[in-house]
Amino acid sequence: MKRFNTYILIILLVISGKTFAQQTPADKQSEPVTIVGATAHLGNGEVIENSLIIFEDGVITEVIAANLTKRQNPGKIINAKGKHVYPGFIAPNSTLGLVEIAAVKATEDDDEMGEMLPNVRSLIAYNAESKIVESMRPNGVLLGQIVPRGGLISGTSSIVQFDAWNWEDAVVKENDGLHINWPDAFRRGRWWRDEEPGLKANKEYQENIQKLSDFFTSSKAYLAGERDYKNLPYLAMDSVFNGNKKVFVHVNGEKEIMDVIQFKKDHALKGLVIVGGYDALGVAKELKSNDIPVLVNRPHSTPNKAYEDYDYPYKLAKLLQDAGVLVALESSGQMERMNTRNLPFYAGTVAAFGMDKEEALKLITSNTAKILGIDDKYGSLEKGKSATLFISEGDALDMRTNILSHAFIDGREVSLETHQTELWKRYSKKYKDQESK
Amino acid sequence: MPVTYPNIAYGFKDKPKQENILFKNATVWTSEEEGVLENTDVLVKNGEISRIGQDLNAGGAQVVDATGKHLTAGIIDEHSHLAASDINEAGHNSSAEVNMEDVVDPTDIGIYRDLAGGVTTIQLLHGSANPIGGRSAILKLKWGESAEDLIFEQAPPFIKFALGENVKQSNWSGNRFPQTRMGVEQVFVDYFSQARAYETEKNKGGEDFRKDLEMETLVEILNGERFVTSHSYIQSEINMLMKVAEQFDFNINTFTHILEGYKVADKMKEHGVGASTFSDWWAYKYEVNDAIPYNASIMNDVGITVAINSDDGEMSRRLNQEAAKSVKYGGMSEEDAWKMVTINPAKLLHVDDLVGSIKTGKQADLVLWNNHPLSIYAKPEKTMIEGVVYFDIERDEQMRKQIREERNQLIGQMLKAKNNGVKTQPVTKKEKQHVHCDLLEEVQ
């Protein structure tokens, strides 16, 4: 009951205390902020109880145990005793802002026509004012990699933060990655070609890999040549070969992953990442020795095969990590956009099935930042990094206690209001007014 | 190779038997007025909850030390499409004659996985392709039993209705009536008018009277002998169906999904309808654009009986987490949140005198958790239905080993056969389809 009252109190505070208008991005940090007394989960595996966190001009200037410093607390002071501070969670391989309502075609901008589209860029279609994007913030999901879908080469992703007027303001890392949909060795029967349903060997598998390989070879040849005509897809490959764009290969099968590793060698690719990786466990040794990290698909899914352990998706990230592979979590799949706010609970589920809690936290913070190549600024609470963090009433990996009071992106205090909280308040008031009449 | 019940992975070599068990020293979530009882014993005898108290005598029952663990009633999923070989009879705008009890598939691995998530009862619903769908099958997830034995015998009859985008065929091409919400109302008024006329004819009992299964089902609804659970999203259609029902002098029992229930909660309360909703789904189609995760909390505050459902084989197996989201969204008390997946869905299914809470005399459908059941870190260690332990985390561990051994053995046999020159065939792969209420084709 005591707990219930606390929640009521929190809600009342949330209702009455916030003055931010919905969806209006926050201004630049104007004064230092000091968060005192919270349990700080640094995102790199460490925890500081009773911490002191200071940030100025968007950058963290101090993260330390409060009893170890006599420093004056500058600027605005937030007393966060009993609360928890986390680095902003990062959602890789997301289509947030590219699609608003999945069933309404006019709102879909995630899948361009064509097979080889490295030049197609997610960033310019990213809707910074999406109602789904704003619903990420109250759960602590503050950054995302926005990824196009479809084709063999889907296009180029960019990394954004979730509180911006437009895509230009939102961008954290422009054109960070090339996305390849690796062909499946098995394919479902296509009814429109009168094929039997069910999965069968894909006769075009090798052919499609060859297509990809040819494309890489041709673009390299083109880029090494005169470039006397403009080939947009080839030109977009330049940053892949010079190492400025990582290659994200969306692939699940064991055999397919082995073929991806061979492909990486054949084309001397740096910075290759496996996305999905359902069967990656069988080839974990090879992934480790080739320095290939895995963005594991969301744990909230069911095993593909009847004989697999019921908790296989829950523990896959842990098993891969135990095998020495660098892993983080991604949330693509059914209803992926709105479900991305459940990212913290995906990590919580991995912890429930065996991973240490602070290690599980890394799956949505520092590991993700490393894999995406933004760990110089994001993914952990450390001096010199961006003040992209939030304060939660309790354990942010648990639904019951993931209740945010403050969130900051690059030091800017962002609104935790959404279209949904607005409706909540409006209708709660309606019934309260009815009662008092 | 031994044959198992059912004859797939995780089938039992010998069907598990009813056991008398004393859970010692558990934290007991009663889902009753008693609330959460610390350091409490629960005695299960002959498939029923026989005693609840302190320092109970085992009296020959097997003792399970539940110190530090949580004991709850089994989770009830009001909206499921697990264990079905078909979902929609979609060719017609009413299919009241069809019955999900005829398409129960007791070999769906989803049953076992649901048990591993603490689920003991589901309502297997017809899909949502037409305004008047098919009759429900309410099932106990007795893994290893036959289709007939899965059916929850004492549960009353239900039927699925549906409203909105699916029935007006918004998201795929279709050309039967209705194509708008306006038409949907008329379908209901038309069918219930026909049903009344049919009943009058039937009562007359003339020679020309011809029995019609579809009409019989609708007459049951009109007479309060069959309950309606209606797939619904937006406030206009929710309101409409209540008014149609009132016009024909019956009640809608449950609105399922009901994502805009929070907008008409006062009207729903007045009608006396319950709600079974998703915790946080939205934005996948236009009609869920105003869906909010605070929906359950608002309806609960207004005084409606609220349940959290899945409509999804993945979510179903962690409905405890979905219930817990109402603690975050809307500040619901933990006890109320837990009721949303136990006693409340039991009430909606009119089986609350039998299951849904830990109460003396009720069927022993229980789950033993390693942690606070609403916590993200909770997992079931034992799931029991009527005193039979259908999921046991230690037994599961052994089964995994056996499955690995059996696979190796089979592969070995195949390799041997191949080396002996037996004809081979190309590799195929099986995959389990995710079934939702808008699936029109056959389940694969």
Is residue B408 in some structural domain? no
Chain A residues within an 8 Å CB radius of B298: 424, 427-428, 431
Q: Closest-CA residue in chain B for A10?
A: B331
B222 CB within 8 Å of a chain A CB = no
How many angstroms separate the CA atoms of A334 and A302, rounded? 12
Instruction: Please answer whether residues B52 and B358 qualify as being in contact, where contact means their C-beta atoms are separated by less than 8 angstroms.
Output: yes
**Which residues make beta-bridge pairs with B44?**
B21, B49
Q: What residues of chain B score a pLDDT lower than 50?
A: none
B303 CB within 8 Å of a chain A CB = no
Predicted pLDDT at A437: 80
Is residue B60 in some structural domain? yes
- B127 and B169 fall within a common domain: yes
Predicted pLDDT at B334: 98
Query: Does pLDDT of A6 surpass 60?
Result: no
Please give the ipTM for the structure prediction: 0.96
- B334 and B380 fall within a common domain: no
CA A391 to chain centre: 19
- B201 and B249 fall within a common domain: yes
Query: Does pLDDT of A1 surpass 60?
Result: no
**Which residues make beta-bridge pairs with B76?**
B121
- B194 and B116 fall within a common domain: yes
Q: Which of B115, B279, B328 to mutate to test the interface with A (most CBs of A within 10 A)?
A: B328
CA B185 to chain centre: 27
- B152 and B223 fall within a common domain: yes
Architecture of domain A19-87+411-416: Roll (2.30)
- B233 and B382 fall within a common domain: no
pLDDT digits (tens, 9 = 90+) for A272-284: 999 999 999 999 9
Cβ of A338 within 8 Å of Cβ of B281? The answer is: yes
What's the whole-model pTM score? 0.95
How many angstroms separate the CA atoms of A303 and A151, rounded? 26
How many angstroms separate the CA atoms of A388 and A366, rounded? 12
Q: Closest-CA residue in chain B for A200?
A: B428
Predicted pLDDT at B393: 98
The angle that helices B319-328 and B295-302 make with each other, rounded to 10 degrees, is 70
How many angstroms separate the CA atoms of B182 and B168, rounded? 10
Q: Which of B234, B281, B314, B429 to mutate to test the interface with A (most CBs of A within 10 A)?
A: B429
Check whether the bond before B157 is cis (ω within 30° of 0): no
Q: Which of A130, A186, A302, A305 to mutate to test the interface with B (most CBs of B within 10 A)?
A: A302
For A:125-184, CB contacts with B below 8 A are 131-132
A4 CB within 8 Å of a chain B CB = yes
- B68 and B79 fall within a common domain: no
Mean pLDDT of A154-159: 98
- Rg of the Cα atoms in chain A: 23
Chain B residues within an 8 Å CB radius of A434: 266
| CATH code for the domain of B362 | 2.30.40.10
- Among residues A181, A8, A190, A118, which one has the least CA distance to residue B327? A8
Distance from CA of A218 to the nearest CA of B (A): 34
CA A190 to chain centre: 33
Predicted pLDDT at A424: 98
B3 CB within 8 Å of a chain A CB = no
- B332 and B373 fall within a common domain: no
Is residue B425 in some structural domain? no
Is residue B321 in some structural domain? yes
DSSP character string of A74-99: -SEEEE-TT-EEEEPEEEEEE-TTTB
Cβ of B432 within 8 Å of Cβ of A306? The answer is: yes
Cβ of B109 within 8 Å of Cβ of A309? The answer is: no
A312 CB within 8 Å of a chain B CB = no
Predicted pLDDT at A17: 42
Cβ of B331 within 8 Å of Cβ of A310? The answer is: no
- B235 and B295 fall within a common domain: yes
pLDDT digits (tens, 9 = 90+) for A303-347: 999 999 999 999 999 999 999 999 999 999 999 999 999 999 999
- B339 and B378 fall within a common domain: no
3-state DSSP of chain B: CCCCECCCCCCECCCCCECCEEEEEEEEECCCCCCEEEEEEEEEECCEEEEEECCCCCCCCEEEECCCCEEEECEEEEEECCCECCCCCCCCCECCCCEHHHHECCCCHHHHHHHCCCEEEEEECCCCCCCEEEECEEEECCCCCCHHHHECCCCCCEEEEECCCCCCCCCCCCCCCCCCHHHHHHHHHHHHHHHHHHHHHHHHCCCCCCCCHHHHHHHHHHCCCCEEEEEECCHHHHHHHHHHHHHCCCCCCEEEECCCHHHCHHHHHHHCCEEEECCCCCCCCHHHCCCCCCHHHHHHHHCCCEEECCCCHHHHCCHHHHHHHHHHCCCCCHHHHHHCCCHHHHHHCCCCCCCCCCCCCCECCEEEECCCCCCCCCCEEEEEECCEEEEEHHHHHHHHHHHHHHHHHHHHHHHHHHHCCCCCCCCEECCCCCCCCCCCCCCC
- Contact pairs from chain A to chain B, CB under 8 Å: 162
Mean pLDDT of A261-270: 96
Q: Closest-CA residue in chain B for A428?
A: B298
Instruction: Please answer whether residues A286 and A264 qualify as being in contact, where contact means their C-beta atoms are separated by less than 8 angstroms.
Output: no
Distance from CA of B83 to the nearest CA of A (A): 13
For A:88-117, CB contacts with B below 8 A are 100-104
How many angstroms separate the CA atoms of B350 and B341, rounded? 14
Contacting residues for A381 by C-beta, under 8 A, at least 6 apart: A40, A41, A42, A43, A53, A60, A63, A85, A86, A87, A389
Predicted pLDDT at B442: 67
| CATH code for the domain of B349 | 3.20.20.140
- B366 and B280 fall within a common domain: no
Contacting residues for B18 by C-beta, under 8 A, at least 6 apart: B46, B47, B386, B387, B388
B407 CB within 8 Å of a chain A CB = yes
Counted domains in chain B: 2
| Residue numbers of the domain that contains B388 | 16-74+357-395
Predicted pLDDT at B444: 61
Is residue B40 in some structural domain? yes
Phi/psi of residue B94, each to 5°? -135, 135
Query: Does pLDDT of A295 surpass 60?
Result: yes
How many angstroms separate the CA atoms of A275 and A182, rounded? 10
Token representation of residue A49: 């109880």
Q: Closest-CA residue in chain B for A198?
A: B430
pLDDT digits (tens, 9 = 90+) for B109-151: 999 999 999 999 999 999 999 999 999 999 999 999 999 999 9
B218 CB within 8 Å of a chain A CB = no
Query: Does pLDDT of A11 surpass 70?
Result: no
Chain A residues within an 8 Å CB radius of B116: 310-311
- B135 and B36 fall within a common domain: no
B444 CB within 8 Å of a chain A CB = yes
Predicted pLDDT at A7: 52
Is residue B188 in some structural domain? yes
Give the HSE-up count for residue A302: Cα atoms under 13 Å, Cβ half-sphere. 27
Token representation of residue A283: 């080839």
Q: Closest-CA residue in chain B for A351?
A: B377
Chain B residues within an 8 Å CB radius of A13: none
Is residue B435 in some structural domain? no
How many angstroms separate the CA atoms of B398 and B396, rounded? 5
Q: In the CATH scheme, what is the homologous superfamily, with its name and number, of domain A89-378?
A: Metal-dependent hydrolases (3.20.20.140)
Instruction: Please answer whether residues B133 and B90 qualify as being in contact, where contact means their C-beta atoms are separated by less than 8 angstroms.
Output: no
CB atoms closer than 10 angstroms to residue B235: 19
Query: Does pLDDT of A3 surpass 60?
Result: no
Mean pLDDT of A229-246: 97
Is residue B415 in some structural domain? no
